[in-house]
Structure 1
């Protein structure tokens, strides 16, 4: 007797959708390709997510949850946090491509509200670091969180031509250290 595992099937669909949407965006992504990659019928996409847009939104939620669980932020080591984000971006460039497609194709007015507890938590951590004197306090903590995330992604979001001009050897060590140094420059007191 076959045992149904809807949570496992949802996860397979989300992972397949991440690959498809990262490559083709929402408009170009095909439900049948996603279902085939996940080893299920196209109908399950609609059963579990309601629509292609619902699946697209679910992928973003999955990415946000995975980042929060996999890369915790700590007040004592913001350069280390940014470095871990950078390494995750290098290891999973499809996530950056998906997020770029999401920003281009999903009208914020049509997108469902995302759980913002993770963002609030990051801002609270930076605010706490500012209050403890660990991080400069002349920058709004929310703006600082966005800046940290932008620095962490800089090596995967810039065009190859720009990257080659800045780091012709493609040194991962140089890139990691540059992320840490930029975050230290943004956060250092004094």
Structure 2
């Protein structure tokens, strides 16, 4: 039974990886289930045994993405270091390799626009999950007197939400990941400086 679950999980993951590459190449709207099946090395009929449609695939990919981001950001915050270094590392995990691949895709704007996608609800839930990781860290750091939230109303949840919005806002008008990467690190250090002042 466990082997069957593992095989199913690995096949699902392979399909999502194939879909990700196909979406990057053609955009979500222009990609068909046939394109995804071909990229995954299976028949369209076999693909339908795993997913109902490409929207279903996109929703699953979004959940997996945010679960991974939350875990990586939490790991970054579990390390020892200065607030600026921890926040820089967390931002790098938050908007790392997957984000780079999306930003560098000719269809990046479409793929990064979660407000108009089939996975809007999953993206919103995922963003809330990641924001909670930031809020928990902010609260721990404030309790340890390593940063001060009082100047911002003392609410770690509000500060975490604003941090997430600022990070996502950096992508506006940015098609070059190196430029985004630099601005992301500057934002982390700016926020850390304001929170530890």
> Which stretch of structure 1 is more off in the superposition, 171-180 or 6-15?
171-180
Which residue of the partner structure matches residue 102 of structure 1? 114
Alpha-carbon displacement from aligned partner over 1:75-101 (angstroms, at most 9, x marks no partner): 752233224434446643359937523
> Which stretch of structure 1 is more off in the superposition, 73-82 or 37-46?
73-82
Alpha-carbon displacement from aligned partner over 1:36-74 (angstroms, at most 9, x marks no partner): 111112233332223322111001011112212334342
User: Which runs of 5 or more structure 2 residues have no equivalent in the other structure?
Assistant: none
Q: Deviation of residue 119 (structure 1)?
A: 4.0
> How many pairs does the alignment contain?
178
Matches within 5 A, 1:4-153: 5-72=7-74, 73-74=76-77, 76=83, 77-88=86-97, 91-93=100-102, 97=108, 100-106=112-118, 108=120, 114=125, 117-138=129-150, 139=152, 140-153=155-168
With structure 2 as the length reference, what TM-score do the two structures score?
0.67
CA RMSD of aligned residues (A): 3.7
**Alpha carbons 1:89, 1:95 under 8 Å: kept:** no
Q: Identify if the C-alpha distance between structure 1 residues 135 and 42 changes in structure 2 by more than 3 Å, giving closer, same or farther.
A: farther
Q: Identify if the C-alpha distance between structure 1 residues 187 and 84 changes in structure 2 by more than 3 Å, giving closer, same or farther.
A: farther
With structure 1 as the length reference, what TM-score do the two structures score?
0.69
User: Which runs of 5 or more structure 1 residues have no equivalent in the other structure?
Assistant: 164-169
Q: Identify if the C-alpha distance between structure 1 residues 64 and 171 changes in structure 2 by more than 3 Å, giving closer, same or farther.
A: closer
Give the SS at the match of 1:136: coil
**Alpha carbons 1:85, 1:153 under 8 Å: kept:** no
Q: Identify if the C-alpha distance between structure 1 residues 146 and 24 changes in structure 2 by more than 3 Å, giving closer, same or farther.
A: farther
**Alpha carbons 1:19, 1:94 under 8 Å: kept:** no
Question: For the residues of structure 2 that align with 1:95 and 1:60, how far apart are their CA atoms?
Answer: 18
Q: Deviation of residue 182 (structure 1)?
A: 2.1
Residue 172 of structure 2 is aligned with which of 131, 153, 158? 158
Question: For the residues of structure 1 that align with 2:9 and 2:120, how far apart are their CA atoms?
Answer: 27
Which residue of the partner structure matches residue 192 of structure 2? 184
Q: Deviation of residue 13 (structure 1)?
A: 0.8
> Which stretch of structure 1 is more off in the superposition, 82-91 or 46-55?
82-91
